[in-house]
Structure 1
Amino acid sequence: MEQTKVEKKGNPLGYRPIGVLLGQFALPAIISMLVNSIYNIVDQIFIGQGIGYLGNAATTIAFPIVTIILAMSTLLGAGGSAYAAIKLGEKREEDAEKTLGTVFILTLISSAVIMVLGFLFMTPMLKIFGATVNTMEYARQYTSIILIGTPFNMLSVVLSNMSRTDGSPALSMYALLVGAVLNTILDPIYIFVFHWGVSGAAVATITSQIISAVVLVVYFLKKGKNMRLRRKTFRLDREICVRALPLGISSGITQVASTILQVVMNNSLVYYGNQTTVGGDVALSAMGIVNKISMILISICIGIGIGSQPILGFNKGANQPKRVRKTYLLAISAATVVSILGWLACQIFPGQILSLFGTQDIEFTQFAIKCLKIYMLGIFTAGFQVVSTSYFQSTGQPLKASVLSMLRQLLLLIPLILILPLTFSLDGILYAGPIADVASAVIVSLFVVYELRKLNKVCSASEA
């Protein structure tokens, strides 16, 4: 009894009910992920209405640069937060605080490197990403401003991850929510009122990122619960770099894989679409909408995975295998329910879902419905896979997390997109999605079965 009382004076991650904790941490993460997904869609609407297709083309061309920034941010944020959570679980608060300082410095250094390289090699990069004579100037304007905001962009992502581990998931949500709402308000003002065009959209974006970053920096300077930004921790700790960064590699790989996948898929859709009566533009537009629908569904699953990470990491460090197992199984169950509901919606109500993105001609609608039903046929496995990758990341198994993060997109989906159309033309691209989903789920399940057996043995040993 006395031990329980003492324990409950410590971090609530070690004793509060798992269901309560998962709801407390996952809900803000889900909202944050959804806000980012929806705000990207809204952003494109304003740019398209105020500037036209060349404006949207400019943001599409700049997307790989944005993804590179996000990849580095998630690598540092996810790795740092996972390592800090383990240290907090081991009751080594000083090491967790050193992790925060190290990650903060690494964020500033890497953002400066990205900015310098971005400006030095902007023209050749934009050409590689698809800029033409008509779009180059728009792309240059947009990219230049986005690069200037790199430090704030990265800090907002990294510190939002760290604030969840510090026990303030709501702050992480509010910081990102304020930025996203502000961006949505400023976009039409800068584009339609000030007539700043593409530059206005970029300025709105970095303004929101600055606000989010400032809120999070102030929190860690003055109100951090277990970690604070202090002068003595503003230095690079070699051991932390070596141990923490590998824990975030899988998150970074996921972002890079998404960019490579998008390039391969876009080119394949246009090429094979033009060989059919559908047309390349129709195929590209339809898949773009399907990917947005998929992004919203996956965002919820990622939010559940992110919400489980501090709980998993802390209890891993605190040597409480039963709580680790329970957290993982509960997170998988929640994400799987979401995936199945999303899958059912796509199969039963495809027309109604697509109508939310505007009315199109009959030919487009027919292909978009076919695209949605076939490509999303295996989406019911998404929650299981996303949460499993988060589990391995947060429990200090970076190699497994990295392999699983590459599995669906890089190792399965891209080769399938390149191979299947050789026989099945445009339909081959559509069926590549569910085949990759199911195949990767089978492989992930092998990792999971082995891991659960280990956890069950440890739990049994602790009861003996």
Structure 2
Amino acid sequence: MNKKVDLLKGHIFTSLTELALPIMVTALVQMAYNLTDMAWIGIAGASSVAAVGAGGMYVWLSQGVVALAKMGGQVKVAHALGGGRKEEAAQYASGALQLGILFSVLYGALCIFGAKPLIGFFGLSNKGIVEDAQIYLKITCGLIVFSYMNVILTGILTAMGDSRTPLKANVVGLVLNMVLDPLLIFGAGPVKGFGVAGAAAATVFAQAVVTLVFIIAIRKDKLVFDKVRLIQRVPRDYMSSMIRIGFPASVQNLIYTSISMILTRFVAEFGDTAVAVLRVGGQIESISWMTADGFAAAINSFVGQNYGAKQYGRVKKGYFTAVAVMFFWGLFCTFLLIVFPKQIFGLFIHEANVIPMGVRYLVILGVSQMFMCVELTTVGALSGLGKTLLSSVISIVFTTARIPLAMFLGSTFLGLDGIWWAFSISSIIKGILFFLCFIVVSRKIGKHQEKKIL
């Protein structure tokens, strides 16, 4: 492919943004993908949104599982390519894809056969919402293999310096999803609408097409994928190395999502409508965190390749460039959520009694957006250095703190708003700590071996 960005040479800001911009656009495409689902489901009513919200929590949880293969593969492929070891990079890519397929089968089986107790965890009171949530869970997570392949292939391509192919693939998925959503949710002509099940089917079908686009694209690659074989024995030490790097990130994601699920149960005590507010508000908030997560993937690959090439000064300058860009993006998102909350939330939920709850969610969470962007960007940089355990410890400790904080604030006069404040306060603390943490870590790497920054 001729779409790769050389991360080891040239002006740092130019190299970084050239890689990051397609990733950020991909993240925005993914956000539009999710918001399209939510907009159509919102027309069906708050009960349908609550069902998708409950079932969708396990889709989110599934990303913690695949994070092991994605992070381990992306970091080790970047290190190998930075050191000029293409065969080694292909071995890591093969191992990551093998792990992804295994995890998708196991997770899919768990969600299909355990749908009833999994949805029962949330304590939803409406029987129709519970049934719809179970259907959504079985379809989206039962066929999670396509999502897993897309996540892993995106990570590997990003490590190679190619962020354009994932963008193109996801745009295809978005367009297809936008067409299928109204058709399968509400029906048209002879086509019967399937409601929540239709939304799930549209998502899975679009993801399958994205996987097909990826396969077509990587068949032309002569750097890594021409040497990748799904059916081959990957050396045990390669697998161990990927698991060692990917496991902390996976645990971090799983715990983070599990905490969110516990908090969702707290939210459900304020009524099923509150769950719908959480679901929609979280999707709207993704305008900041999905973009930051995309930029984090870019800085991960940038740091990984330059760390592998022992260009430590370039590593540091790349991080500070990235974190500055993301801080200002967070400020922009804060402005949107605080100044236009009613207009934004009203696009997805139309019941007049629900909108004020959504407005308060957006305003409260808006306070912390710039700190959350700093947190995610720094996690990407530290992971590129292989410091996934350090990132996980900080995230787990302070994300877990949301539970007692939400319990305390939720029991005060703040009520439901107290839970939203628990989210916001913890994000502010984590953003500050992660920034300070990178400063400390960066002082220790390559202290006497820095190369001239190009």
Aligned to 2:406: 417
> Structure 1 residues 33 and 204, CA, compared in 2 at 3 Å: closer, same or farther?
same
- Check if 1:75 corresponds to 2:65: no
- Cα distance, 1:59 vs structure 2: 2.3
- Check if 1:96 corresponds to 2:85: no
- Cα distance, 1:16 vs structure 2: 2.5
Letter of the structure 1 residue corresponding to residue 28 of structure 2: L
Aligned to 1:117: 110
Instruction: State the distance in 2 between where 1:41 and 1:232 align.
Output: 34
- Cα distance, 1:281 vs structure 2: 5.7
- Cα distance, 1:97 vs structure 2: 0.5
Q: For residues 40-51 of structure 1, what are the structure 2 equivalents within 5 Å?
A: 40-49=34-43
Aligned to 1:86: 79
Number of corresponding residues = 444
1:321-371 residue CA offsets vs partner (Å, 9 max, x unmatched): 11111111111110111112222333444444444446654x755554444
**Uncovered stretches (5+) of structure 2, i.e. residues with no partner:** none
Q: For residues 187-336 of structure 1, what are the structure 2 equivalents within 5 Å?
A: 187-191=181-185, 192-193=187-188, 194-197=191-194, 198-231=196-229, 234-271=232-269, 273=270, 280=271, 283-336=274-327
- Cα distance, 1:446 vs structure 2: 3.4
Contact 1:156 1:176 in 2 (8 A): no
SS of 1:457's equivalent in the other structure is coil
Aligned to 1:178: 172
Instruction: State the distance in 2 between where 1:213 and 1:421 align.
Output: 42
Instruction: State the distance in 2 between where 1:143 and 1:267 align.
Output: 17
Letter of the structure 1 residue corresponding to residue 428 of structure 2: V
> Structure 1 residues 186 and 357, CA, compared in 2 at 3 Å: closer, same or farther?
closer
1:133-176 residue CA offsets vs partner (Å, 9 max, x unmatched): 43454344333332442222211111111111122210011112
Letter of the structure 1 residue corresponding to residue 403 of structure 2: I
Instruction: State the distance in 2 between where 1:462 and 1:153 align.
Output: 41
> Structure 1 residues 367 and 379, CA, compared in 2 at 3 Å: closer, same or farther?
same
Letter of the structure 1 residue corresponding to residue 204 of structure 2: I
Letter of the structure 2 residue corresponding to residue 160 of structure 1: T
Aligned to 1:4: none
> Structure 1 residues 345 and 145, CA, compared in 2 at 3 Å: closer, same or farther?
closer
Contact 1:88 1:96 in 2 (8 A): yes
Match of 2:29 among 30, 35, 53: 35
Letter of the structure 2 residue corresponding to residue 292 of structure 1: Q
> Structure 1 residues 143 and 293, CA, compared in 2 at 3 Å: closer, same or farther?
closer
> Structure 1 residues 461 and 454, CA, compared in 2 at 3 Å: closer, same or farther?
farther
- Cα distance, 1:296 vs structure 2: 1.3
Instruction: State the distance in 1 between where 2:114 and 2:368 align.
Output: 40
SS of 1:396's equivalent in the other structure is coil
Letter of the structure 2 residue corresponding to residue 415 of structure 1: P
Contact 1:166 1:227 in 2 (8 A): no
> Structure 1 residues 238 and 218, CA, compared in 2 at 3 Å: closer, same or farther?
farther
Aligned to 1:17: 11
Instruction: State the distance in 2 between where 1:337 and 1:173 align.
Output: 23
**Uncovered stretches (5+) of structure 1, i.e. residues with no partner:** 1-9, 274-279
Moved more, 254-263 or 446-455: 254-263
Aligned to 2:149: 155
What TM-score results when the alignment is normalised by the length of structure 1? 0.86
Instruction: State the distance in 1 between where 2:193 and 2:273 align.
Output: 30
Q: For residues 442-461 of structure 1, what are the structure 2 equivalents within 5 Å?
A: 442-455=432-445, 457-458=447-448
- Check if 1:433 corresponds to 2:430: no
Contact 2:123 2:268 in 1 (8 A): no
Larger Rg: 1
SS of 1:15's equivalent in the other structure is coil
Aligned to 1:168: 162
Contact 2:91 2:228 in 1 (8 A): no
Instruction: State the distance in 2 between where 1:232 and 1:66 align.
Output: 25
> Structure 1 residues 148 and 288, CA, compared in 2 at 3 Å: closer, same or farther?
closer
Match of 1:393 among 372, 380, 383: 383
Instruction: State the distance in 2 between where 1:122 and 1:289 align.
Output: 22
> Structure 1 residues 422 and 65, CA, compared in 2 at 3 Å: closer, same or farther?
closer
> Structure 1 residues 456 and 334, CA, compared in 2 at 3 Å: closer, same or farther?
farther
Letter of the structure 1 residue corresponding to residue 363 of structure 2: K
Letter of the structure 2 residue corresponding to residue 36 of structure 1: Q
Instruction: State the distance in 1 between where 2:54 and 2:364 align.
Output: 28
More helix by share: 1
